Amino acid sequence: MKQKNKFDKWFLLSWKRFLFILIAFIIAVLLHNLIYGLGIYFGGRNFWGVGGDEPFFFIIATILIPLYFIICIVYSLIKKFSK
């Protein structure tokens, strides 16, 4: 049996990890929109976010999750074709 290293644990793409990334992306987008919508509702049209949480979820949804997904794809392809 082949021993997995810690990079395989975090970056080797599987269906389970793909679904986790997809669900995390959807949750981050929903939280971003929910917090922004609540801010507009309670703070008026000139509201820019609630205590910094709205930009936090925006950065997670638009930068961090897609970057992690791309890294997982590249790592998995390198791992597959290096054998």
Greater model confidence, 1 or 24: 24
Residues 6 or more apart in contact with residue 21 via CB below 8 angstroms: 65, 68, 69, 72
Give the tens place of pLDDT for each residue, 10-58.
Answer: 999 999 999 999 999 999 999 888 888 887 787 776 665 445 566 788 8
- Identify the band that residue 79 occupies on the pLDDT scale cut at 50, 70 and 90: very high
Greater model confidence, 39 or 6: 6
Q: Residue 57 has what pLDDT?
A: 82
Give the tens place of pLDDT for each residue, 16-29.
Answer: 999 999 999 999 99
* Structure token pair of residue 26: 């959807």
Dihedral angle at the C-alpha atoms of 43, 31, 61, 7, nearest 10 degrees? Answer: 140
